[in-house]
Amino acid sequence: MPKLDESLLTGLPPFSQLNRAQIREILDQAGSRRYEEGTAIFREGHDAESFFLLLDGYLRVVRTTQGGDQIIVLHISPGQLFGIAPALQRDTYPATAIAAAESIALSWSARVWSDFTARYPGFATESYKTLGQRLGQIQETLTEMATQAVEKRVACAVLRMANQSGRKTPNGIEIAFPVTRQNVSDMTGTTLHTVSRLLSAWQRDGIVESTRKHIVVTDPHALVLLSEQ
């Protein structure tokens, strides 16, 4: 792959406490690959042979329930590690990672994880901090699905995506990656029909604009109220 300059990574959490020489050592062991939208980078239960850093794009993290249903539990933004099964003391991936948009990721062999965390304390600190935050987000999502009314779950899911990736447009806050009504259904444990009904109603009320694979939050305050009711 083209040799990446260390300065491109110095502000990213896994590298923020490392000097340029340390970042160079880590980068020299990385591979790079581009993934088309919809591509599975790895699948739940498969051998965890690599871990990754997302350089560009967005990912969906999907888990399969005991009943065989697939739930989107998390989205990954650029600059984040993913597939870090070694941090969980696992040799298989606990979930499936799918490119939500065209994405570019660095990858390293899982065998170097213990070496990286031992040699670069800053890398370890930031990586485990990210892991803790991510587990908290997954727990929050699962708790919402178990305890909250459907409208509130859907409002919370749309708000999370807008907060994570939203960019301001003349019409409101646009979710930066393609998202379908089926995706929202998979995030909230409800039916496609229910999600379609809610988004259509919110569009009539001027809260969102929803088209194929595209959502803009046009009234964020109203959506926050729906998420808190």
Return the domain boundaries, the chain. Answer: 6-134, 148-228
pLDDT tens profile 17-46: 899 999 999 999 999 999 999 999 999 999
Give yes or no for residue 1 having a pLDDT over 70.
Answer: no
Class of residue 143 by CB neighbours under 10 A (exposed 0-12, middle 13-18, buried 19+): exposed
pLDDT tens profile 158-174: 999 998 888 999 999 99
Give yes or no for residue 176 having a pLDDT over 60.
Answer: yes
Give yes or no for residue 5 having a pLDDT over 80.
Answer: yes
CA quadruple 66, 68, 69, 71: dihedral, nearest 10: 60
Q: What pLDDT band is residue 189 in, cutting at 50, 70 and 90? A: confident
pTM of the predicted model as reported, rounded to 2 decimal places:
0.84
Is the CATH code 1.10.10.10 the one for domain 148-228? yes
Q: Which residues, including other chains, have CB under 8 Å from residue 149's CB and lie 6 or more apart?
A: none
**The two domains 6-134 and 148-228 share their CATH topology (first three levels equal):** no
pLDDT number for residue 146: 76
Q: What pLDDT band is residue 107 in, cutting at 50, 70 and 90? A: very high
* Helices and strands: H and E segment counts in the chain: 7, 12
CATH topology of domain 6-134: Jelly Rolls (2.60.120)
Helix (H) or strand (E) holding 154: helix 150-165
Helix (H) or strand (E) holding 223: helix 220-228
pLDDT number for residue 2: 60
